[in-house]
Structures are given as C-alpha cells and as structure tokens.
C-alpha cells in the first residue's frame, strides 16, 4: 500500500513539474471541479431522464459484458424509421470529424471547399483524407457563403459546411444548399446542432433526391450527453454503400444499441428544448451585447459569437480576449477562445454556449465584474 501511495505521489509531483503539459484529470476528481462549461454547446436541458434510466438499467443487467454490434443494425433501423428512411441510408460513428473523414476518403483526390469560419476539425478531416482545401468566405459578413460567391473564389468539387455553422451560429437556407447540390460532386453538411436552433430546417429530407448529399448528425449533442459519443451519417443508400467500402466499422459501444429506441422517443423533450431556446438565445444575445467592449453577432443556434474589441478610450478591467477568458476561468467559467479558428480575421473573438437561465446569469454577472471600468 505504501509503495502504491509513493507511486501516485511521484506522478502528482511530475505533473506539477510540467505545468505546460496537459494532464488528464483523474476520474475521482471531476465531481470536485466547479467550473461551468460554456464551451460545451450540447443541449442545455441535459440528458433526458428516460435515457439516463436506460443506461442505468443496461449496466445493472450486464449489457456491457457483450461485444457490441459494430454494424449498429438496431440503431440504424431505429434512426431510419424515425427519419422515414431505410437502415441502408444510415451509417454510424463516434464524432463528426470521424464521419467527415470516412466520407471524404470515398472520393478521388480533388479540391474541397470548406466554408469558413468553421471548426478546425473540418479542415483536419479533409486534409487527412488527402484532399486539397479551398477556404471559402462570405465577403461581406459571417453569414454562410452562397454558391455564386463561393465559385468566384476558386474551383472545387466537394464542399463541407455546418448547418448551423460554428462558431458563427448561422443557418443555411435550403435553396442555398440546393444551389450547391446541383453543381458539386458531393456535399457534406454537419447538422450536429440542428435541433438546438431557432427554426433550423434539416437537409435530411433531400438525401433521396440528391445522391451527392451527406448529412451528419450527433445524438450526443442533441440529447446533452457528450460523454457518450454517438454520431450518424444520412445519405442516399448508394452513397452509403460506396462510403462503406472505406469504413472500418462503427466504434460505438453497447450504449448505441441500448439507447437505439430511446433516442427516437424524445419528442416532448425536443419540444421543450425548442421552446426554451426560442426565448433564451435572444435573451443571451441581448445581455451579452450590453457588456462594455463586447460586440455580438446574430445567433440562430445555442451559441453566440462575440468580439471583445474595446475602443482605446475605454478603461476596462481587461484589455484582450485572452485576459477575459483567463479571468473567467479563475472565476469558475469556461468560454471558447477562438484564436485558432479558421476564417476569423483576428484573435478578438470568443464564443459562449447558451445554458440554463441561472447559469447564464452567473456568467454575465462574472463578465460584468471582470470587464468593469476602473472609475
């Protein structure tokens, strides 16, 4: 016992001696951390109780003792029935970037457009699949670039974009998607947050009419359970069959099977989510815009893009996004510093997820205190 204790003590001392190296937090310490995470833009209502109960029952019944079905047949049938499609229209994965990589690997080398600003993972996934990347930007705003302006920026055969886009929180109109679909060899649309928007319309209904469309969705995001990574791809059955040739099999564990039916039975929960966000997203935008030195951009999803760019004559408690983010972390709040986000013109941007009202009020109060003038 003493020997084990010494080993653990030595590991802790080594971690302290290397402060710049990320060290995984031990499981038994996670419950003691009091940060409120505004970088996590999953469903603010949390995981539905029936899903939590299903997980608990599965563990008690020993479902984790069995090897999962890597084809995910139960899950594919459930999601297919829910969407009005066949199981052959569905493919499983654990993350958006993983499924983008699988899809992109199924196509010959080409130039792929990536609508920016966007998560760095989009460009990483396309690059890992061996394609050239063409960054595409709206010349006048952070709204998604339309096909006309996109093709003025170069030639490309494939395209990756988010609906809603992260971190700009903007939706893509369906006519705009159709313009791309009528021109491109293939189009990947990340719909991870589509259920967490104001009026977001899914592109899933287009997959039968457009065999070049690939839609990626995240059950983990929709149902507030980022610790259980479950994503899925929706496309024409011929497209799925083609991608499966480059597909190593789902990494989703037993929970994918266990939760298959529960994930498509949460209509009341989703209605409550939509009702909540229709009020909370505008409320959050309004109150963020009242903070000194903070500019906000229109948000249609459960996260708000912000710019901290105070004028020189303003005497504030912090002078940069980095100072603001650091002070918020010291106060117990995590917000997303967007310094490495492709497509943003400078490092003055940050993004704030929309959480429950009490949590949002606590963050705003902390931000007011940190940014306040010195007079």
The pLDDT tens digits for 237-277 are 999 999 999 888 777 887 788 888 888 899 999 999 999 99
d(CA 353, CA 346): 21
Instruction: Of 138, 98, 100, 132, give the one whose Cα is nearest residue 116.
Output: 138
Write the burial class of residue 235 (CB in 10 Å: 0-12 exposed, 13-18 middle, 19+ buried).
buried
- Strand 158-162, strand 186-190: pairing: parallel
Task: Specify the pairing of strand 303-308 against strand 333-334.
Answer: unpaired
Q: Which pLDDT value is given to residue 260?
A: 84
Backbone angles phi, psi at 203, to 5 degrees: -90, 0
Query: Is the distance from CB of 11 to CB of 23 less than 8 angstroms?
Result: no
Domains in the chain, CATH or no CATH each: 23-47+268-371 (3.90.1150.10), 65-265 (3.40.640.10)
Q: Residue 15: what pLDDT?
A: 38
What is the C-alpha to C-alpha distance for residues 45 and 339, in angstroms, rounded to an integer? 28
d(C-alpha 364, C-alpha 374), whole Å: 18
Give dist(CA 95, CA 74) in Å, integer.
19
What burial letters (b/e) apply to 331-353, b meaning 16+ CB within 10 Å? Answer: bebbbbbbeebbbbeeebbbbbb
Lowest mean pLDDT among 16-25, 203-212, 325-334: 16-25
Neighbours of 39 (CB within 10 A): 16
Residue 344: alpha-carbon gap to chain centroid: 17
Report the C-alpha gap between 134 and 32 in whole angstroms: 44
Closest C-alpha to 172, from 199, 148, 196: 199
Q: Cα–Cα distance between 79 and 100 in angstroms, integer?
A: 19
For residue 55, is pLDDT > 50? yes
Does the pLDDT value for residue 95 go beyond 80?
yes
Binned at pLDDT 50, 70 and 90, residue 32 comes out as: low
Q: Kindly state the average pLDDT of the residues 220-245.
A: 95
Nearest Cα neighbor of 220 from 198, 240, 196, 187 is 196
pLDDT in tens, 160-175: 999 999 999 999 999 9
Residue with token string 């993350």? 95
Q: Is the pLDDT of residue 375 over 60?
A: no
CB count, 10 Å around CB of 249?
12
Q: Is 346 helix (H, G, I), strand (E, B) or coil?
A: coil
The percentage of the chain sitting over the pLDDT mark of 70, rounded to a whole number, equals: 90
Yes or no: say if 343 and 137 are a contact pair by the CB < 8 Å rule: yes
175-218 per-position pLDDT tens digit: 999 999 999 999 999 999 999 999 999 999 999 999 999 999 99
CA angle 215, 133, 350 (to 5 degrees): 75
Cα gap 283→357, rounded to integer Å: 9
């Amino acid at each position: 016992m003493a020997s084990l204790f010494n080993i653990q003590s030595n590991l802790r001392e080594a971690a302290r001696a290397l402060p710049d190296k990320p060290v995984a937090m031990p499981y038994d310490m996670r419950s003691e951390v009091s940060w409120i995470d505004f970088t996590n833009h999953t469903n603010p209502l949390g995981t539905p109780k029936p899903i939590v109960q299903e997980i608990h029952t599965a563990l008690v019944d020993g479902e984790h003792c069995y090897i999962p079905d890597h084809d995910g047949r139960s899950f594919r049938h459930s999601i297919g029935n829910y969407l009005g499609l066949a199981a052959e229209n569905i493919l499983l994965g654990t993350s958006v970037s993983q499924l983008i990589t699988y899809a992109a690997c199924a196509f010959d080398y080409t130039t792929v457009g990536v609508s920016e600003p966007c998560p760095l993972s989009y460009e990483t996934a396309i690059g890992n699949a061996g394609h050239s990347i063409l960054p595409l930007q709206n010349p006048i705003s952070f709204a998604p670039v339309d096909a006309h302006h996109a093709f003025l920026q170069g030639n490309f055969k494939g395209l990756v974009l988010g609906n809603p886009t992260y971190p700009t929180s903007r939706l893509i109109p369906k006519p705009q998607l159709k313009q791309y679909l009528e021109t491109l060899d293939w189009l990947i649309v990340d719909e991870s947050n589509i259920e967490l928007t104001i009026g977001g319309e899914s592109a899933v209904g287009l997959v039968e009419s457009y065999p070049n469309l690939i839609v990626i969705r995240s059950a983990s995001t929709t149902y507030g359970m980022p610790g259980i990574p479950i994503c899925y791809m929706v496309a024409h059955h011929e497209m799925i069959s083609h991608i499966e040739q480059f597909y190593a099999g789902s990494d989703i564990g037993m929970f994918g099977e266990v939760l298959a039916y529960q994930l498509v039975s949460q209509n009341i929960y989703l209605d409550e989510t939509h009702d909540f966000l229709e009020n909370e997203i505008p409320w959050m935008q309004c109150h963020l815009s009242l903070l000194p030195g903070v500019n906000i951009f229109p948000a249609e999803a459960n996260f708000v893009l912000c710019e901290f760019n105070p004028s020189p004559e303003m005497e504030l408690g912090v002078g940069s996004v980095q100072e603001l983010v650091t002070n918020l972390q010291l106060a117990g709040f995590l917000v997303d510093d967007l310094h490495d986000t492709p497509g943003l013109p400078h490092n003055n941007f940050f993004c704030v997820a929309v959480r429950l009202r009490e949590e949002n009020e606590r963050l705003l109060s902390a931000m007011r205190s940190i940014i306040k003038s010195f007079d």
